[in-house]
Amino acid sequence: MKKVALAAALALCFGVAQAQDKSIKISGFGAKTGPVRGFGVNSEAAMLAAAEVINKAGGVKLADGTKAKIAVDFYDDACNAEQGISVVRRIAGTDALVAIGPTCSNVAEPLFGILQKKVGDASDSGLQFPIFTDVAIKVGLAKISEWAFRNVPNEMIMYSSVFYWLRTTRPELKTVYGGVEEDFAHSRATWHVVMKDRAQANNFTVVGESKWLLADTNFATQVREMKKANADVIAISAHPFSMCGALKEMARQGVKPKVLVGLTSSSTTETLQGCGKQVQGMIIPTSFAPVTKDGKYASAETAKKKGAADLHSMAAWENMFILKDVMESEKITGKDVQGDRRKIRDGLAKLKQTKGLMGVTKRTDDREADKPYLFVQAKGNEWVVLHNPL
Amino acid sequence: MDFYFGLAQVIGVHTLLGLSAYIVLLTGQVSLAQAGFYAIGAYVAGMLTVLGGWHLVPALGASAVCGAAVACAVGFPALRVKGLMLVIATLAFGEGVRLFFFNFDYQIARGEIKVGPLGGEGFRQIRFFPENGWSTLEVMLFVWLFVVAAMALLWWFDRSRYGTVLRAVGEDELAAQSVGINLTAVKVSAMTVGGAIAGVGGGLYAHYTTHIEHSSFNILVATFAIAYPIVGGLRSVFGTLLAVVFVQGFLIEGLRFLGDWRNLLFGALIVLAMNLRPSGLLGTRRRA
Amino acid sequence: MLDFLQSLSDGVLFGATYALIGIGFTLVFGVMHKINMAYAAASIGGAYCGLLILKVMAGAPPALVFFCAFLSGGVLGAAVYVTCFHFIPLSSPLATLMSTVGMLLLVDEIVVHATDGMPQNYPAMFDDVMLRAGEFTMRGDLLLVFAVAVLCMVALLLVLYRTRLGLATRAVAQQPVAARLCGIRLERVNVTTFVITGLLGGIAGALIGASVGTLSPLLTTPLTVKGLIVTVIGGLGSIPGAIVAGLLVGGFENVLQLYRGVTERDLYVMLLLFVFLTFRPGGIFAPKGGRD
């Protein structure tokens, strides 16, 4: 990677216009420190794998007709707002044209805040640098800045679909009970803003909710409340660690809902490793499962780079290809860094739809994605596809 | 270049955080409450500029006053205990403040969106700097204005009789008391000054990150507040500055070229630094 | 009423894990008058090491995993002593505070690197046992934790009051200089204390892992905080105090959670601490008239 960058620098210095010497840099950033390290590792692997595939096919075509290779580097932000901001300023100081990240919503939120709010607003001194998020999923973040784009699943639509499907296929189910990890921005919003609302919209009665914290260890009281409510459906909006704790307590107390619904970020191997036995049968809507030909290929390539393919890392993979297309359609020059960044931003903003691993993703006006999704269920040692609603 | 200006902002704000613990440490007290004052400063300044439409400078003044007032109020009861008890008591206070903001909602409608703190979701869009067209360089200079002022103030304290009194209390309370020093006044005043500095630091933090939430003020932040002066050494304010540069500039940003080893080295190098320089990077060799 | 009793009993039983961590903090404090901030992290680290046996020997019984955790805890205890205390002069209490914080971060990060931060399933004993009396239930695995905590306390008290090593330890705790003059090797007592607390920490970490069902580096911060609070409420250096305080904090927080919700729960724990600091600064078992 360094060699490629060095070559690029040399090429610029001497004005050599040989195709194989040119490179376009895309930087990734995310958490590689702390409990969410897995996300960063997987995203980096997916980006490297995607870049390799693109480069093997010749690379990106520039405005002057020559081809450039894609170079990827990845920075760790430790899921910390200050580090995230520093990292993006550092990336913006290099010749990278666009960044993919971050992992955590609590980094994305401040980060989008330091970007320029409205493009071309000279009175706003915010950073002018396009960011195309793969993982941070908390609802409605991209509207913070016109330089922020996301390719994350739309939980509103996915859970709407889950509850609609349950309503139509299992009419005997009437009541829903929620379990929510209250102190984590994403899981909290997903229950209070998304799941609860969507369940009610589909004529379910929400009979109650239990709250716990990200690092909680004792779920006895919450599960007892859950048991009393005796709901048909239990929806758990929590990340693997606390979800596993709660599921294990549910097993102990003998709470067996007819249907168990989970948080989209928990449809990963993490959950299966933490509590494979208790999670059996849980239904989760997700924007990725290795079922299509493209999906299988992307998983295999990412595995070669020692990363797992899940809905988050595969968004990073998709982002690489979307960016390649945008760079070609917007005719970036590979010479004028700030001009190219603006072109990429405008190109991303123009997109009405993109090609994804699971099919066509619609792009919304507030720079979010409306990705195809399907329902997976924990069975044995993997997540198997239960239903494709599209 | 923007990156270095941004990093200088981070270093500046963390220096304020460290200095707020420095003056308290001079009196021999280890306070883990600094993250609490920092949080109060952040929320006060953020709410005043976003909800109240204030200019940042008076808002930071309000942060300083609130930080100082709370620190003063905490100082009195906290002085009943010493050593480890004080560490835990102040830690509990800091966590208490964090949990307060975790439960704190105060939103008003601004156009079609609502602004203000919203419990666990945090407080977003504190965009005074970009909205008023401040460049990263200007923000950095603004931050450092406060850092230099705080360092000058504490440096002057150190040279004055007040500094001697602070250190006397830190070295030996009994002896200090026996020469007529009012322990309560000295400790509470140190705590108050520390609270004011942490309040300003918090106010600046809220504005350069544009988003704050309860988890931005967790125990790790409280621990770093005391870590800076301890790692740097208590001989002078420059120790704290050096330690912040060491941690934020070197361990976090400077070691990025090491890739995955960087996060492992973070803890290991702190352990090593304390083994090699037990009284801090700029500390004096103390009597055995 | 049943709700109240049930919450109380769940909390008190779970409080046994806080008690175990509290004992470790309090023992080191008693002997060296220092805080070992890395203790909870090293305990969890020990529990993780226990899992290694499953890699070598698939399907090893939980008791063997616990035993491995116990031994690794002791090794980690010695490692913490050597890296964070041995080379730092006694006159720099702040330096050891910081070195152990550094160690805490290091242990956490090693665990994160080894597991990519993924929660690990932890084997449990008696986790399918539920004692029932009508609606009222008690978890078998937590009763085990409770029993182990009591056993550890008895064993520790025996060591402290019935052996020469214990005599030396108490002598060092009371008067290090005088103890040295009597020919007690300070270093050895210190190392032994760390190994003993480490062993205890390893088993505590394993039991916590088993009672939660999963291990994650996320556990270290809350355990450190709760452990320290328990140490203070129980009285610095008091082993029975740490146990009673652990159970008290566990029961108290669970009852408050029932009535005030999870978001306010920890606020009340902090308040409880302040009440103790104000009215009983020497801890639960402090002699009347304050402490020395």
Q: What is the ipTM of this complex?
A: 0.90
pLDDT digits (tens, 9 = 90+) for A243-267: 999 999 999 888 999 999 999 989 9
Picking from A38, A211, A214, the nearest residue to C218 by CB comes out as A214
The pLDDT value recorded for residue A18 is: 45
B279: chain C residues, CB-CB within 8 Å = 92, 95
Determine the distance from the C-alpha atom of residue B267 to the mean position of all C-alpha atoms in its chain, rounded to a whole number: 20
Cα distance between residue A354 and residue A360, in whole Å:
6
The pLDDT value recorded for residue C73 is: 96
C229: chain B residues, CB-CB within 8 Å = 88, 92
Helix (H, G, I), strand (E, B) or coil at A377: strand
Interface check for A141 against chain B (CB to CB < 8 A): the answer is no
User: Bigger pLDDT: B113 or A234?
Assistant: A234
List of chain A residues with pLDDT < 50:
1-2, 10-19
Q: How far is A125 from chain B (nearest CA, A)?
A: 4
**Beta bridge mates, A68:** A60
* Residue linked to tokens 């082993």: C239
Could you tell me the two tokens for A133? 């998020």
Whole-number percent of chain B with pLDDT over 70: 98
The CB density around residue A280, as the number of other CB atoms within 10 Å, is 14
Q: What's the whole-number average pLDDT of chain B? A: 91
- According to DSSP H, which parts of chain A are helical? 2-14, 37-56, 81-93, 105-114, 155-169, 185-189, 196-201, 220-229, 240-253, 269-275, 293-304, 311-329, 337-350
Cα distance between residue B207 and residue B194, in whole Å:
20
DSSP state of A72: E
Report CB contact under 8 Å: A81, B211: yes
Cα distance between residue B134 and residue B152, in whole Å:
25
Torsion sign over Cα A274, A276, A277, A278: positive
B227: chain C residues, CB-CB within 8 Å = 98, 101
Cα distance between residue A227 and residue A263, in whole Å:
20
Interface check for B137 against chain A (CB to CB < 8 A): the answer is no
Chain B stretch 11-50, residues whose beta carbon is closer than 8 A to a beta carbon of chain C: 25, 30
The pLDDT value recorded for residue A191 is: 94
User: Bigger pLDDT: C121 or B40?
Assistant: B40
pTM: 0.91
What's the CA dihedral at C139, C141, C147, C150 to 10 degrees?
-100
Report CB contact under 8 Å: A252, C10: no
Interface check for B174 against chain C (CB to CB < 8 A): the answer is no
The pLDDT value recorded for residue C291 is: 39
Cα distance between residue B169 and residue A111, in whole Å:
44
* Amino acid present at A242: S
pLDDT tier at B287, thresholds 50, 70, 90: very low
pLDDT digits (tens, 9 = 90+) for B132-141: 989 999 999 9
Among B28, B72, B55, B16, which residue's Cα sits nearest to residue B200?
B16
Residue B203's region, left for phi above 0, alpha for psi from -120 to 50, else beta, is alpha
Report CB contact under 8 Å: A221, C14: no
The pLDDT value recorded for residue A21 is: 66
Cα distance between residue C5 and residue A104, in whole Å:
40
Report CB contact under 8 Å: A183, C14: no
Characterize A100-136 residue by residue with b for buried, 16 or more Cβ atoms within 10 angstroms of its Cβ, and e for exposed. Answer: bbbbbbbbbbbbbbbbbbeeeeeebbbbbbbbbbbbb
Up-side HSE of residue B113: CA atoms within 13 Å toward CB?
Answer: 13
The sheet carrying A98-100 orders its strands as A60-61, A67-76, A23-30, A98-100, A131-133, A148-150
List of chain C residues with pLDDT < 70:
286-292
Mutation pick from B210, B221, B256 vs chain A, by most beta carbons of A within 10 Å, is B210
Report CB contact under 8 Å: B124, A144: yes
Determine the distance from the C-alpha atom of residue B112 to the mean position of all C-alpha atoms in its chain, rounded to a whole number: 35
Identify whether the C-beta of residue A25 lies closer than 8 Å to the C-beta of residue A71: yes
